[in-house]
A = this chain, B = another copy of it.
Amino acid sequence: MLDMAILGLLEERDLHGYEIRRQLRDHLGLLANVSFGSIYPALTRLEKSGAVVATDGSSASDRRTTAAAPPTGSLSGELAVLRARRSPGTRSRRGKKVYRITDAGRQLFAELLADGGAADDARSFSLRLAFARHLAPQARLALLERRRAVLMQRLGETESGARPDLDPYARSVVEHTTGGVTRDINWLDSLIASERAALADARAEPVG
């Protein structure tokens, strides 16, 4: 799940762990306040599987060339590289590790975004929807309808009607969450309508 989010962000630009967390917190806001205890293991995981590569931060602006930049950079950049080399073996000098997505990573991202196992929780769905521009129109529609179906079923399973068996506090919680699910469904309905309209337009006006 986190893997998908990270790959999605890296699709746009190279980032290091701290930045990834900030983007998830700021952009996706209240939704995804992910801890470093998740992010760094995830990055290690993704690197080991070949979905991303880590570069040392000194060549961050250069998209193409790998390490061993010629001494044309800034003085501080040069010093950083030298310091990095000074520590034996590991790049464990406390400095930025900037991650770049690979072709394998892009493919993995597409897979995780499309099916990505079950994961019918709210977090997963919102994350997928936030990256929905990477999906084909009909896959987008399917995502929305799948989510709608899940929520409808949950609503149905919840015993509806007044519930005098619950005390006021529990009842308030249940009603509030039920209302939230209803709100979600209305939201999904409007999104689904938009998607359908876009699909109809595309069908009516094919390529040109």
Contacts and interface: CB of A to CB of B under 8 A. Distances in A.
Interface string A118-133: 0000000010011111
A72 B169 CA distance: 15
A37 to B, nearest CB: 14
A176 interface: yes
A131 to B, nearest CB: 7
Contacts of A169: 129-133
A45 interface: no
Contacts of A181: 30
Contacts of A191: 172
Which bucket holds chain A's interface residue count?
A: 35 or more
Interface in A66-83: 70
A116 interface: no
How many copies of this chain does one complex carry?
Answer: 2
A26 B130 contact: no
B30 A173 contact: no
A129 B166 CA distance: 13
A36 interface: no
A170 interface: yes
A28 interface: yes
A187 interface: yes
A163 to B, nearest CB: 9
A126 B177 contact: yes
A158 B133 CA distance: 22
Interface in A158-197: 158-159, 166-170, 172-174, 176-181, 183-184, 187, 191
Contact of A177 (B30, B155, B159, B176): B30
Interface of A: 26-31, 70, 126, 129-133, 154-155, 157-159, 166-170, 172-174, 176-181, 183-184, 187, 191
